[in-house]
Structure 1
Amino acid sequence: MANILKRFGDIMSANINALLDRAEDPEKMIDEYLRDIESDLGKVKAETAAVMAAETKAKRELDECTDGIAKMQRYAEKALMAGNDNDARQFLEKKAQLVKQQESLKQSYDLAAANAAKMREMHDKLAKDLENLQAKRDAVKAKVAVAKTQEKMNKMGSSISGAGEAMAAFDRMEEKANRMLDEANAMSQLNARGDSIEDLAKKYDMDESSSSVDDELAALKAKMGL
């Protein structure tokens, strides 16, 4: 019993939050604490029931002794009224024995009652502390669930951030492709405007040469009478 109380006291007096902060798995750790405390509480409950039973037995024996004293007193009185002094003496002797026994039984009962009261108080405190730890466990598990959700969201946020960078890179590539296309279209438009000045001049040079040959051919025909 002393070991149970010492271990339970160590758990309750320790900084549970600090222990949980250092734990890799707070849920698992607090569940282990609770299992140990529930086991200890079961042992305390059994011990408390035994002490309370001892109290009940001591009280019953004391009450029986007290009733016996009162009974011997009544018998002694009846014997005296009947004129039987010897019977009355025997009843009073028995009463005296019961009175001495009553003192011992009273001491035993007082001790048993005190022990039972202490055990009940101890049991009730352990039960209340266990209830508080169970509430703390629920709070810890809720916080762990929130933390895990936040961790998942953080990972998703990182993925989204990477996707955003990829989209930005695609946008830059698309912008470059558009610029190349615009330049190609501009060049095509320039090429579609016609021949250059040099090409255009050559065309007229060719026309003048052809005209000179035609004039010379006509003059030669006239001279020959053709």
Structure 2
Amino acid sequence: MAFKRIRDMFVASINEGLDKIENPRVMLNQYVRDMENDISKAKHTIVKQQTIAQSFKGKHEEADKLAAKRKNQAQLAFDAGEEELSKKALSEMKYFEQKAREYKEAYEHAHKQLAELKEQLQTLEVKLRDVKDRKHALIARANAVKAKEHMNASFNKIDSESAYREFMRMENRIEEMEARVNSYAELSASSGSPYSRVEYAKEVEEELEKMRAKKVGLEKQPAAGNE
């Protein structure tokens, strides 16, 4: 009985675990789809980040060119004696130089984030391949667990004590049958064949004498014919 209680507790714990798993195939396929969606979102984010990085790069290059252009204009104005115009050009040069630095920093930051996103994407893709490779094996293992659980549940319905009693009863019946068969065989062996009974011995001997006499008579007939 103690074994039965332990077995019941063990089966119950397995049932609880399987209830949480629900349908392994459905759940694992859902996990794969979730990861594929994450990868799709990551790729979309990378495309946007690439666009942002390229935009900052373009703005940096444009501001750098404008700063160089204003510097050249300031020099030309100064050489022409137009200091006010030169000062204005220099002021704009400083503005574009500042913008160029800001866009450069923004580009470098965006480029760094882009590299991190690409690395994360590669990690996700590796994990997805691993999950797909292991999915079928996990489904097979889960199905095996469920099949074994069903077998255990069926086994749990059997009363081991009553089964043992029935087994012992059948063994006793077989032993009784064997005893009856052996007793009958011994009785038959001791009684002997009905055709070999002692009271027939004299009559059998007489019949043999008749057969011998007849044989002797037959052997003498050819000799008498020759005479």
TM-score for the superposition, normalised by structure 1: 0.50
- CA offsets, 1:143-185, max 9 Å, x none? 457779999xxxxxxxxxxxxxxxxx9xx9xx99x97997898
Gapped regions of structure 1 (runs ≥ 5): 1-18, 152-168, 202-226
Equivalent pairs counted in the alignment come to 165
Cα distance between partner residues in 2 of 1:57 and 1:34: 35
Q: 2:53 aligns with which of 52, 55, 66?
A: 55
Contact 1:20/1:29, CA 8 A, preserved across alignment:
no
Contact 2:18/2:146, CA 8 A, preserved across alignment:
no
Matched with 2:100 is 102
What is the SS of the residue equivalent to 2:57? helix
Cα distance between partner residues in 1 of 2:34 and 2:124: 12
Question: Which AA in structure 2 matches 1:86?
Answer: E
Cα distance between partner residues in 2 of 1:117 and 1:40: 17
Cα 1:73/1:27, change in 2 over 3 Å: same
Matched with 1:84 is 80
Cα 1:57/1:20, change in 2 over 3 Å: farther
Identity of aligned residues (%): 21
Question: Which AA in structure 1 matches 2:194?
Answer: N
Cα distance between partner residues in 2 of 1:106 and 1:187: 120
Q: 2:117 aligns with which of 110, 116, 119?
A: 119
Q: CA deviation at 1:187?
A: 9.3
Cα distance between partner residues in 2 of 1:85 and 1:196: 169
What is the SS of the residue equivalent to 1:192? helix
Name segments (4+ residues, structure 1) moved above 4 Å: 19-22, 144-151, 178-189
Query: Which moves more between the two structures, 37-46 or 127-136?
Result: 127-136
Contact 2:28/2:135, CA 8 A, preserved across alignment:
yes
TM-score for the superposition, normalised by structure 2: 0.50
Matched with 2:196 is 193
Q: 2:133 aligns with which of 121, 132, 135?
A: 135
Cα distance between partner residues in 2 of 1:37 and 1:135: 14
Matched with 2:29 is 31
Question: Which AA in structure 2 matches 1:132?
Answer: D
Q: CA deviation at 1:54?
A: 0.6
What is the SS of the residue equivalent to 2:26? helix
Cα 1:38/1:67, change in 2 over 3 Å: same
Gapped regions of structure 2 (runs ≥ 5): 1-16, 150-170, 204-227
Q: 2:42 aligns with which of 30, 35, 44?
A: 44
**RMSD of the alignment, in Å?**
4.7
- CA offsets, 1:51-108, max 9 Å, x none? 221111111111121122223334444x269x42439715434322312322332343
Contact 2:36/2:128, CA 8 A, preserved across alignment:
yes
Matched with 1:161 is none
Cα 1:37/1:20, change in 2 over 3 Å: farther
